[in-house]
A and B are shown apart, each in its own frame.
Chain A
Amino acid sequence: MLKAIAAATAALVVASGAITSDAIAADKPDKVKVGITTFLSGPASVFGVPGRAAAEILAKDLNDRGGIGGVPVELFFTDEGAGGETLASEFRRLVQDEKVDVMMAAISSGNCLNLAPLAEDLEVINILWDCGTQRIFEEEDYKYNFRTQGNATPEMMAALLYLLQTKPDFSTIAVVNQDYAWGRDSWNLFSSALKALKPDVKVVAELFPRFGAPDYSAEISRLQALRPDVILSTSWGGDLETFVRQASQRGLTQSSTFVLPLAESSLQRLGGALPDGAIVGGRGDHYFLHPETKDTDKFKAFVAEFQDATGDYPIYPAFHMAQAFAALEGAYAKAIEANGGEWPDEDQVIEAMNGLSFTGLGREVTLREDHQGLEDQLIGTARTVGEYDFPIIDNMRIYAAEDIMPPVGTESVEWIGGLDQSFLDTKFDAYTYGD
């Protein structure tokens, strides 16, 4: 269906292009300018800086291959850590003064919620390259915004399914999430699905320390007094690391099962502080030991380049960046082809984005008609092995995106309300470490 729509649109564009090809062929520019918002300061920068490193590598590779249709890309970075107002001004400046062709924003869900309407207003293509809130395309229809990756719903469903399928015997749960759109939205999804699938579980504490909090002592004391069977945290970056380190120092990680759906990005930095047995994932099927793609040349080359540049293995923001670039390249290629080889204008690139399929460094991703990417989810259990000085992910499961997210036009909360026990039979592909 999607492919049919895409083909039809492409055909339409080709047809219209053939008629008026002179009129709409834009001049080929010297550069394709891409503005990227990422965290370069604050605790979230442990997440944002690798994203920038990946973007630089990807842009260099792309330009070495001749760029987009012979045009090199140029990157402009701006810091999400500077605060909402400054970020909005910077976004505006990049579009209006630097005249960027495409924006890639943002990491923080809160920033995405604020910048998506701004992109629409400024009429600039915006690739939501990393943020998770599912609300973006469920609450609004956008023309200029696209998300080249999954969102909170499939991610939370994958984590919950994995928990219920592998460790179903628990009766109490507590949550410690960052206090902003992502932390609140992800808990809302997780808890309503839990209520539908395992209603007897008791939620004993809902803690929302502020984004960037440097100390969780009091929260940890309270959790120790409550002794929940499961502790969920969808935190990421420096916040997750501080929380897990402090919890580990005080033995909390020994007494409860930790479910950390975004901890793939912190494994290398946490090392021994993260206990074996914790459930960890990254939004999407992202892992430097991806069981299906890790041996491809493209994958190995990227990991090697990333290690050269940063000294670390790539984490999921780097993989998300790879998907954003794959989508950008794919969309321009498709638009150029549709335009009879001529340089496309913005509307033609937008046309090409609709229904686009592209492959970053994981499985193929397709953009649905609501501009949301369909991305499969990988999740597993942390385990220490001899080869690395940090835990790896074992007992991996990859869930197909279509099975764990609502169809176009249905809101997640509504869809989750309709889930029943048969959801627990959702299929997956299983892999163990070393596969």
Chain B
Amino acid sequence: MMRILFPAILAALAVYPFVGTSYVPLLTIVFAKALPVLGIILLLQAGQVSFGHALFFAVGAYTMGFVLRDVGAVDLVLLLPLATLAAGVAGLAVGVFVVRYRYIFFAMLNLAFSMVLYSLLEKFFHITGGTDGLRVARPTVLGLAMDRAEFELVLYGVSLALLAAALAAVHRLLDSPIGHTLKAIKTNETRVEYLGVSPRRTLLAFYVISAMLAGLGGALVAVFQGLATPDYAYWTRSGEMVFVAILGGAGNVLGALVGSFAFEFIRSFAAAYVGDYWQMTLGVVLLVIILFQPDGLIGLVQRLGRRPGRGRAGAAGERGRSERNAMERV
């Protein structure tokens, strides 16, 4: 499934800017915002939902703003790893505390930390620009100063490439032994402990990775918009990330891309066609997904795609897995 769909989608997206350009900005945002969603999906494997990942998104975004304002002209090639690293450090600092908690407490403590950051960003006007946010100047790319159109095209490519790499890496990671340990935390944490593995340390490692993904996404959005605002850290942003993860389907890393794509397009089309009712539209879509399609859009695609080739081993394996998931839910 992953093997056919993934390269096909990637190829189509890579070719797109040469065919049409009208959705390039929207798609760039889709790619960038899929990264924190991927981080959420990662933690969902362990059954943990973070209602505060907007924190790391904001850390990534503000790192871009601070460096460009206070250090000066730093290249994009250097900035992105820097922002990711900053989010990783923040993830480690917060993670050390939050991995001690599970379920609702995990969700709420994440929320609390993100709201602390939100309030600080909003309040310390002289450092952060307050509610107006921080301008993010356009950096050079490999030493080249670009105009807006060129830069947007480059950013499209960079975001797509980074997302593709992240999707592939996380997919592999989840299939590795440590990935299976992570999933075991959800089903039976004590058993993991008996096996001599520390669930906390495992969760912390993945927490830091998910924070870095969120930070990278925030950095890309900030540099694309030219702006970092405290809203990036507000709790409804975190809620949206979890929403998108469930919308796309938390059972597969591609859910991040599919969900982000669906979310941004529903949002922009709903805004255009149902006007004042776009938020309600999203809410209803979310309800329908949870109640009738709990493995998300990607689950739907998988089931449709499986029908003709029912006998294949890979498909059967996947089916078995999703059935097991369904049973765990009951």
Contacts and interface: CB of A to CB of B under 8 A. Distances in A.
A50 B25 CA distance: 33
Contact of A88 (B123, B130, B226): B226
Nearest to B226: A118
Contact of B130 (A85, A117, A184): A184
Contacts of A363: none
B14 to A, nearest CB: 22
Interface residues of B, number: 21
Interface string B170-187: 000000000000000000
Interface string A100-138: 000000001111011001100110000000000000000
A210 interface: yes
Contact of A179 (B131, B138, B221): B131
Binding site secondary structure of chain B: helix
B227 A85 contact: yes
Contact of B229 (A83, A89, A118, A210): A83
B125 interface: yes
Contacts of B227: 84-85, 88, 114
Main secondary structure of the interface of A (DSSP, over half): helix
A89 B148 contact: no
Contacts of B229: 83-85
B78 to A, nearest CB: 22
Contacts of B240: none
Nearest to A211: B131
Of B130, B131, B132, B135, chain A has the most CB atoms within 10 Å of the CB of B132
B231 interface: yes
Contacts of A211: 131
A110 B133 contact: yes
Nearest to A121: B148
A89 B225 contact: yes
B134 to A, nearest CB: 9
Nearest to B25: A92
A184 B123 CA distance: 12
Residue of A83, A85, A97, A110 with highest tally of chain B CB at under 10 A? A85
A110 B131 contact: yes
Interface string B136-156: 001000000000100000000
B122 interface: yes
Contact of A84 (B123, B125, B132, B148): B132
A121 B225 CA distance: 12
A113 B135 contact: yes
Contacts of B133: 84, 110, 114
A181 interface: yes
A431 interface: no
Nearest to B125: A184
Given A83-B231, A92-B25, A122-B148, A180 B225 contact: no
Contacts of B221: 85
Nearest to A208: B125
Contacts of A83: 229, 231
Interface string B98-126: 00000000000000000000000011011
Given A84-B231, A122-B148, A210-B122, A180 B226 contact: no
Interface string B62-104: 0000000000000000000000000000000000000000000
A181 B226 contact: no
B131 A180 contact: yes
A108 B131 CA distance: 11
A89 B125 CA distance: 23
A60 B31 CA distance: 42
A376 B231 CA distance: 37
B283 to A, nearest CB: 18
A96 B148 CA distance: 12
Nearest to A184: B125
B130 A179 contact: yes
Given A84-B132, A97-B22, A113-B132, A179 B123 contact: yes
Shortest beta-carbon contacts, A-B, top 3: A110-B132, A84-B229, A180-B131
Interface of A: 83-85, 88-89, 92, 96-97, 108-111, 113-114, 117-118, 121-122, 179-181, 184, 208, 210-211
12 contacts: A84-B132, A110-B130, A110-B133, A114-B135, A179-B122, A179-B130, A180-B132, A181-B129, A181-B130, A184-B126, A208-B125, A210-B131
